[in-house]
Amino acid sequence: MTNVNIFSELSPPRRNEDFVMLLIYVLFLMALTFLTASFSFQGSFTAWKRHGAHIYLTTILSIAIWVAWITLLLVPTLSPQWDDTILSSALVANGWVFLLAYIAPEFQLLTSPWGHKGSGTTEHTGTDHFYNLY
């Protein structure tokens, strides 16, 4: 029979070390996303560069939060009562980073007009070319 209470039986420092191993895996995935987003800057399509910049900024801020989170979980002088506070603060901070660095700019781009109002001309960017294809 499988012991389902294995994590609750571990000491708090050992439990944090196991949790940090999971966090390092996710941090590795974020580093891959960061690297992949950097390739979007090499193309000629302007909209991809903007989307890539939003992803790039979001992942770099998320990586910073996760490195701080991992560091705080590995500090031996903090008592286990701080674990939930550290966990919730990191998740809330990461959620706000995602909302402010990715969702808000993408939503602003989605709702912005394609041309300049009042100028009588339309600036031709990569997005205009994309939308004119359809």
pLDDT tens-digit map of 13-36:
787 788 888 889 999 999 999 999
* 105 vs 73 pLDDT, higher one: 105
Render pLDDT for 39-93 as a digit per residue (tens, 0 to 9). Answer: 989 988 888 898 899 999 999 999 999 999 888 888 877 787 888 888 899 999 9
Q: Alpha carbon of 118 to those of 15, 21, 51, 121: distances in Å?
A: 61, 56, 27, 8
Using CA atoms, how far apart are residues 89 and 77, in angstroms rounded to an integer? 19
pTM here is 0.72
Confidence of residue 133 (pLDDT cuts 50, 70, 90): very low
Cβ neighbors of 47 (< 8 A, separation 6 or more) are 109, 125, 126, 127, 130
- The residue with tokens 């070319």 is 129
How buried is 47 (Cβ within 10 angstroms: 0-12 exposed, 13-18 middle, 19+ buried)?
middle
Average pLDDT score, the chain: 81
How far apart are alpha carbons 90 and 84 in whole angstroms? 10
Q: For residue 95, what pLDDT band results from cuts at 50, 70 and 90?
A: very high
Q: What is the pLDDT of residue 114?
A: 64
